[in-house]
Structure 1
Amino acid sequence: MKRSLILLVLLLAAVAIGGAWHVDSKQPRRGGELTLGGLQAPVTVRYDERGVPHIQAAHESDMYRALGFVHAQDRLFQMEMLRRLARGELAEVLGAKLIDTDRLFRTLGIRAHADAYAQKLDLQRPASQALLAYLDGINQFQASRPAPLEFDLLGIQKRPFSVADTISVAGYMAYSFAAALRTEPLLTHVRDQLGADYLKIFDLDWHPRGVVGPTLAAGDWQDLNAIAQLSQAALEEAGLPQFEGSNAWAVSGSRTASGKPLLAGDPHIRFAVPAVWYEAHLSYPGFELYGHHQALNPLASLGHNRDFAWSLTMFQNDDLDLIAETLNPDNPNQVRHRGQWVDLHSREEVIAVKDGAPVTLTLRRSPHGPLINDALGNRVGATPIAMWWAFLHTDNPILDGFYQLNRADSLDKARAAVEKIEAPGLNVVWANASGDIGWWAAAKLARRPAGVNPGFILDGANGEAEKHGFHPFSANPQEENPARGYIVSANYQPQATSGIEIPGYYNLADRGQRLDQRLADNHVKWDLNNSQALQLDPGNGYAPRLLAPILGELRRAATTAQERALVEQLATWNGDHDLDSSAATLFNQLLYQLSERAMADDLGAAQFDNLLSTRVLDAALPRLSADAASPWWDDRTTPAVESRADTVAAAWRASLQHLQDNFGADPSAWTWANAHTLTHSHPLGQQQPLDQLFNVGPFAAPGSHETPNNLSHRIGPAPWPVVYGPSTRRLIDLADASTALGSNPLGQSGVPFDAHFSDQAAAYIAGQYQPQHLSEADVATHTRSTLTLLPAR
């Protein structure tokens, strides 16, 4: 027995040692020398204390090839999953449960568009050369180094990355902005099934002519609900970045302590493991940039150097229309277009399925775009719904645009670069050390027929869905060196001096108003310290604005001294979502219960669930609370006609009961720290016990939905997992860009068990900033290891 125990211990030790060796073999190489084919000269990669690579090369192509190599060794699995999601190839590695997601992305046409785009791309242009060198670096890493641990677990076979993969991922990012698939069916349902009185709370300032041409039957609405839910689930469950909103501002030197412009930015993106941005400091003779890169893109989406800096927010313009087509009753393969019957075009694609039979799709297209009905394997509706999407209908030289933006040190160069970004819509906020600040809304804005509101499903037969070209870039919203001395961009609806209407799915104005109010204070001289406080601001005026009209009803609904004290706590609350606030918890539960009690009975379960995933609900709720006569207050499941007071009282009681059930009878325990938490989720962390291995968190999270510190959750019952928030916080004072500060929600590395996998997570949630080393002296001081990449002999 003793010998058997010894053998067992030795066996377990061998397994442990073998497992440790296997995991260790997957770790990034950040020191020593490695050979990299295609280099013209050695490249030095110095890693700082956060694992950020500082790449020094003698040639531009060498720099981008080295970036591809080091980016891949930290993020190869992220690259693989993003291209598979965008191209509809997840079922091949995750099995049949991902067929519906793959079907959706194949239907959107991203894969086919990316393949065609790559074929016609001018490979001799500087941006294309940069991409090719970068992809070669990725592919050399993949061919020469051990596969990531996740590849082993999922059985992923290595295959080269291509230009089409990069364009496909850009398509996914563009699609993640698009709210139309969730919002347009909802608003059309409210208009056509409930009526104009119900539509009032959505404050649609201008209305379409007529209604949807083809009559949408129950089966059509069922299909649209299913597509909306599939779209939302695909984004939520992938464990991959999804763009949601953002803050950015630039302050001119007249308003800063240093006398030079200051730029701040924090793009709001769905949290995931690894984090979306890969930081890298790049240089070759005549070029230097500290940039934040997306997977499979060599060009920084955010960046700065000593001469200039820029950040991005989402424009939120509506660049995706849903269009109900009219079928030819004598030929189901034809639709009515411009007064005649035209053929639908179709193609077949095959989805490979892990441990299952391949699935063949027939994907159809009308003159307006792909038929999204084909995303459903078993649709029940009869009306084809086409999708017009600017991403599929513009030339979109976005690679050239960002290549130039990475080098744009003047207003003229920055403006010219931004003009090349046609889809998705982005706001670019920019500043330079010479004293200029600017903002440009980048997008190709379609010319739609007068009176047509693309917030509803359009009629494909009567001409309202047609586009009459695009507005010139000069008509887009933009500002350069405004007299007030600052620029703010925060996803609210912008005004264009050209006067054109820009429909979109904009965020509440409250966050932008909060930022504008602070920045407008002429007594403040802005610097890196007070800018941190502004980025971390946990409040806005939304809650007091929504509560004010119903405080009387809440006071009447309170039946005990404790309840009356809670109402008064809400009445005096300033809306700040601090960790110790119990008013924040009570308000957010009440917000959900008001929505559910007022709207679920009218919309039905599926449409109400879709509503909770849209931005239009945020704007609708304050209008609803202010309108005592709104028909939404009546509960149509009862014979009585309920008033606002009745529904507010019911929501109040339900809120208290839910909080008591989840956090106990003592309201002092209902703190925001207990109710609002952030867990960073890995694609493999969707199931136990892998969540313990790959996910990071939970962390108690301050801030909330549409506060400047936009750590945001979906409206729903407590507790609330944070869904998205600042994907990085950046502050650059162009008096000395080497003092720039930033943050990363997790860490540089996406490699499990690496030292930089989650080393910044605790500091991030605590609102701490890290230096972004730019000067040679700082880089040398903070270098922890050096990797030298040598040309092949």
Structure 2
Amino acid sequence: MFKRIGVFLIAVLLICAAGVAIYLYGKQPQRQGLANLPGLQSPVNVHFDERGVPHIAAGSEPDAYRALGYVHAQDRLFQMEMLRRLARGELAAVLGSKLLPTDKLFRTLRIREQADWQVTHADHNSPAWQALQAYLEGINAYQLQAPGPVEFDLLGIEKRPFTAQDVYSVVGYMAYSFAAAFRTEPLLTYVRDTLGEPYLAIFDRSWNPNGALASQTLNAADWKSMAALARLSEQAVSNAGLPQMEGSNAWAISGQRTQSGKPLLAGDPHIRFSVPSVWYEAHLNAPGFELYGDYESLVPFALLGHNNDFAWTLTMFQNDDIDLIAETTNPDNPDEVWYQGHWVALKEEQQRIDVRDAESVVLRLRRSPHGPIINDALGENAPGRPIALWWSYLDGANPVVDAFYQLNRANTLDKARAAASLIKAPGLNVVYANAQGDIAWWAAAGLPKRGPQVTPDFILDGSTDQADKFGYYPFSANPHEENPARGYIVSANAQPVSPDGAVIPGYYNLSDRGQRLNQQLGLDGQWSIEKSKQLQLDTRTGYAQRVLQPLLPILRTAIEDPQQRQWLEGLAKWQGDYPLDSINATLFNQFLYDLNYGALHDELGDVMFQNLLATRVLDAALPRLAADEHSPWWKDRTQPGVQQRADVVVRAWNTSIAHLRDTLGNDSAQWQWGKAHHLTQMHPLGSQKLLAPLLNVGPYSVPGSHEVPNNFSAPLSAAPWSVTYGPSTRRVIDLAMPDKAVGILPVGQSGVPFNSHYQDQALPFVQGEYQALHFSPTDIARYTKSTLQLMPAPKVR
């Protein structure tokens, strides 16, 4: 009898396993055979290579975009759904009340209203609009025909058509993801108003009282509100598990400095890691148009691309296109603010947010003449005065979609410059090269004209005209270079110089990474794809020594233990390199955190200190702090005996050694960087314990750090470190042989769980490998693994 029961249970398990396998198989992309695609003018062949990249051969451009939408949706439909919900404030409806604060923030940002406005005012007869519509037709045709993704079933997501409003909303999200001002302006204003101007010295921020709030005009309730808002802006994207733009490397080298005699382009945009990753590779070929590009979900035009004639890549400009403006309310009517000499009523509306696991929530949204009241995201009873958001993205037309349609066809320097000039927000550095021999860079953004006395690093006073804008500078005044005499161009998120020498406000990255790239590119020798690959994987800069050098004499005097003195001298000789086997890298990063905590936390408190860790100004502040023994930050308000730089430095060293021993063991041989620095790429549902091993990718030990070219970046914290962002792709293109271009994605082409291309590039990526980007007809034929033929829908008789 027991034998029969055992056989029965085995049979049940086999049936269940077979059922699961059949279910998952039905969710997989179709990469061979025939499929109907309504709207096609003629059949389209889609050849999938060994990485799952579609090579689309169509009889017309509209058909190519329909096919792109179809195959893009096959691999990324859940990502498309999540991105539009994030941008339009609709995540809580499927993910529950945990995402309600994120929805409130994005509703308050007014991205959805701006997207609707953009669609209404777009030229619906333009080629770009027609291509966008064809792309959406492809997405919706696939969604209508195919079973929903596994995640749709898990979350109960009902299918809805994708629209042009969704496309423009995702562009708005992309613009928001650069917005460091949300975290930085409240922090700097808090430091100035509660600690005093001397504390600003490490941030290298001067201020003019005519363009900022007078000191002490924000009270405790205001700071509570602003601190919560800054924290929310940081957590909103990370909680959703979706990509966020962070930084980037790019360079273009003229033919006079390459082995091939033609320009060479390299780029690796730095974006928050996620599963799937941000980019979807596709090769489009139609009469008069061919491009191999990297596409963001729901954006029909490649944001990175190349063909036989030209290539381009992007880095983040990181210009300050946001002002936070404190409004003065009428004591007799809190719904009025002082604007241009009189009281003006706030415009108000209400929006309903659906929540999966709770009742719907009604959100009150207000708008002043300066922009939406951003702290409405915290709820109707949020403390503090109204803070308005001025954001160039919300200020009129922003034809960035048209810009990329044109950039996808920019086979001359003039066409590329004209396309870049259309980009208003987000600010982007466009780095370009063509087969004619040109190389160029344009800092593309609408740069607002602020008043001459305005310092936009701080919260501005809405009761004065200093918060007003006076239009935008012409594109010709933006930073740019075309065919410089040095023979190369570098872009790495450092602060650029405008043609007239004016300072462009922004929240730029450390200069060290760009300086390292510039140093290496400036060396004698001819450049090749192989040398550019080596530079993208470089893990060294001089940042660590900039921090350490002023502090080494202090530690040499204080440390007596022979083992610790050996570690210290190892740091003194260390070249700032981050290979997997480095012990110095681990010791330095732990010491950097403890030094930062020991000097700054007592003045800022928990909330503001956490906000500081999420800003870019911290990286540049730490070397200045280390070098200034008289900085007021060294005085510890909680410990009277800790009042000098030496006190904090020695305490930080001792704390670091103790933490590493407790965390990684007493044997310092176990303190290798690869044992403490890991990358796990997270799926939006990967925080669920049962789903994590099925959907997340990793962990992997990774080299690099946030201040080196191979930018695997973890937040400044105590060991061990979890990497959050880094290269979203690595691409190198030599325009003498564009069919030999190479690249790599962080996980894989497909976002469909259990697909063969879900994570097939993850291990090669962390190991620094590259793979071919097939472009020539011969290579496409050689590496085609399957072919899908998309057919026009049969005519109904």
Task: Return the TM-score normalized by structure 2.
Answer: 0.98
Q: What is the CA–CA distance in structure 1 between the aligned matches of 2:236 and 2:453, rounded to whole Å?
A: 33
CA contact (8 A) 2:270 2:711 kept: yes
Which among 430, 433, 440 is matched to residue 432 of structure 2?
A: 430
CA distance in 2, matches of 1:139, 1:97: 29
Give SS of 1:679's match. strand
Deviation of 1:382 after TM superposition, in Å, equals 3.1
Q: Residue in 1 aligned with 2:485?
A: 483
1:361 aligns with one of 332, 340, 363:
363
Query: Could you report, residue by residue, the CA deviation over 1:678-725 in whole angstroms, capped at 9, with x for unpaired residues?
Result: 110000001212111100001110010120001111101000111100
Query: What residue number does 1:443 align with?
Result: 445
In the alignment, residue 151 of structure 1 is paired with which amino acid?
F
**Residue 329 of structure 2: aligned partner:** 327
1:56-104 CA distance string (max 9 Å, x none):
0001110000000000000000000111111111110011111111111
Counterpart residue number, 2:372:
370
Q: Which runs of 5+ in 2 are unaligned?
A: none
Distance apart, 1:10 and its partner CA: 1.9
Is 2:364–2:379's contact at 8 Å kept on the other side of the alignment?
no
1:236 pairs with one of 238, 262, 270: 238
State the one-letter code of the partner of 2:327: E
Deviates more, 1:567-576 or 1:370-379: 370-379
Alignment-derived partner of residue 192 in structure 1 = 193
Indicate conservation of the 8 Å contact 2:211/2:456, yes or no.
no
Deviation at 1:769, TM superposition (A): 0.4
Q: Aligned with 1:269: secondary structure?
A: strand
Q: Any idea what the Cα deviations from partners look like across 1:282-332, whole Å, max 9, x if unmatched?
A: 010111000000000110000000100000000000001100000011111
For residues 53-64 of structure 1, the aligned pairs below 5 Å read 53-64=54-65
Shift of 1:641: 5.2
Match of 2:789 in 1: 788
Q: Judging changes above 3 Å, is the alpha-carbon distance between structure 1 residues 192 and 304 closer, same or farther for their aligned structure 2 residues?
A: same
- Asked whether the equivalents of residues 476 and 498 of structure 1 are also in contact (C-alpha less than 8 Å), the reply is no
Match of 1:393 in 2: 395
Match of 1:697 in 2: 698
Aligned residues: 792
Partner Cα separation in structure 1 for residue 345 and residue 617 of structure 2? 36
Structure 1 residue 19 corresponds to structure 2 residue 35 = no
Deviations 1:725-775 (A, max 9, x none): 010010000011001010111100000000000000000000000010000
The answer on whether the counterparts of 1:475 and 1:500 sit within 8 Å (CA) in structure 2 is no
Query: Do 2:211 and 2:453's aligned partners in 1 also have CA atoms closer than 8 Å?
Result: no
Distance 1:501 1:642 in 2: 36
Residues in 2 aligned to 1:511 and 1:715: alpha-carbon distance in whole angstroms: 17
AA at the equivalent of 2:252: A
Change beyond 3 A, Cα 1:527–1:258: same
Which residue of the partner structure matches residue 534 of structure 2? 533
Q: Tell me the equivalent position of 1:109.
A: 110
Aligned CA RMSD, in angstroms, stands at: 1.0
Aligned counterparts of 1:399 and 1:545: Cα–Cα separation in 2: 42
User: What is the deviation of 1:205?
Assistant: 4.9
Number of the residue aligned with 1:384: 386
Gaps of 5+ in 1: none
Q: How many angstroms does 1:120 deviate by?
A: 2.2
String of CA shifts for 1:484-506, please: whole Å, max 9, x gaps.
10000000000011333310000
Q: Distance in 2 between matches of 1:616 and 1:482?
A: 30
* CA contact 1:223–1:379 (8 Å) conserved in 2: no
> Which residue of structure 1 aligns with residue 607 of structure 2?
606
**Residue equivalent to 1:50:** 51
Shift of 1:210: 6.1
CA contact (8 A) 2:211 2:461 kept: no
Per the TM alignment, residue 5 of structure 1 is displaced from its structure 2 partner at its CA by 3.0
Q: Distance in 2 between matches of 1:379 and 1:569?
A: 54
Residue identity matched to 2:575: N
Measure the CA separation in 2 of the matches of 1:367 and 1:438.
39
Counterpart secondary structure, 1:349: strand
CA distance in 2, matches of 1:509, 1:394: 33
Match of 2:709 in 1: 708
Instruction: Choose from 302, 307, 310 the match for 1:308.
Output: 310
Give the one of 501, 518, 523 matched to 1:516.
518
2:211 and 2:466 in contact (8 A); partners too: no
2: CA distance, partners of 1:641 / 1:357:
51
TM-aligned CA deviation for residue 394 of structure 1: 3.5
Return the alpha-carbon distance in structure 2 between the equivalents of residues 22 and 120 of structure 1.
44
Q: CA deviation at 1:559?
A: 2.8
Asked if the contact 1:79/1:295 (under 8 Å) is kept, the reply is yes
Q: Which residue of 453, 456, 468 corresponds with 1:454?
A: 456
Q: Equivalences for 1:21-420 in 2 at 5 Å?
A: 21-205=22-206, 207-209=208-210, 211-213=212-214, 215-377=217-379, 379-420=381-422
Of 485-494 and 108-117, more deviation after overlay is shown by: 108-117
Secondary structure of 2:549 counterpart? helix
Secondary structure of 1:604's match? helix
The residue type equivalent to 1:421 in the other structure is I
Q: Give a deviation string over 1:485-531, Cα, whole Å, max 9, x none.
A: 0000000000011333310000010000000001111x210001111
Q: CA deviation at 1:6?
A: 2.8
* Higher deviation after alignment, 586-595 or 370-379: 370-379
Match of 2:509 among 507, 510, 514: 507
SS in 2 for 1:177: coil
Q: Distance between the aligned counterparts of 2:141 and 2:423, measured in 1?
A: 30
Tell me what 1:774 maps to.
Answer: 775
Instruction: Output the CA distance in 2 between the equivalents of 1:394 and 1:528.
Output: 42
Counterpart CA distance in 1 for 2:721 and 2:96 is 30
Cα distance in 1 for residues equivalent to 2:193 and 2:357:
44
* 1:650 corresponds to: 651
> Does the 8 Å contact 1:505/1:616 carry over to 2?
yes
Aligned to 2:597: 596
Q: TM-score, normalised by structure 1?
A: 0.99
Q: Which residue of 2 aligns with 1:551?
A: 552
SS at match of 2:763: helix
Question: Distance between the aligned counterparts of 1:74 and 1:210, measured in 2?
Answer: 49
CA separation in 2, counterparts of 1:401 and 1:360?
37
Question: Is the contact made by 1:421 and 1:442 (CA closer than 8 Å) also made in structure 2?
Answer: yes
Q: Distance in 2 between matches of 1:664 and 1:410?
A: 58
> One-letter code of the match for 1:91?
A
Q: How far does residue 380 in structure 1 lie from its aligned partner after superposition? A: 4.3
Given that 2:105 and 2:233 are in contact with CA atoms closer than 8 Å, whether structure 1 keeps it comes out as yes
Contact 1:394 1:422 (C-alpha < 8 Å) held by counterparts: no
Q: Distance in 2 between matches of 1:421 and 1:102?
A: 27
Percent sequence identity over matched residues? 61
Shift of 1:236: 1.5
Q: Determine helix, strand or coil for the equivalent of 1:7.
A: helix
Alignment of 1:728-739 (within 5 A): 728-739=729-740
Structure 2: distance between partners of 1:554 and 1:394: 56
Counterpart position of 1:688 = 689
SS of the aligned residue for 1:282 comes to strand
TM superposition shift of 1:658: 0.5
Q: Distance in 2 between matches of 1:207 and 1:653?
A: 40
Shift of residue 163, structure 1, vs aligned partner: 0.5
CA contact (8 A) 2:223 2:384 kept: no
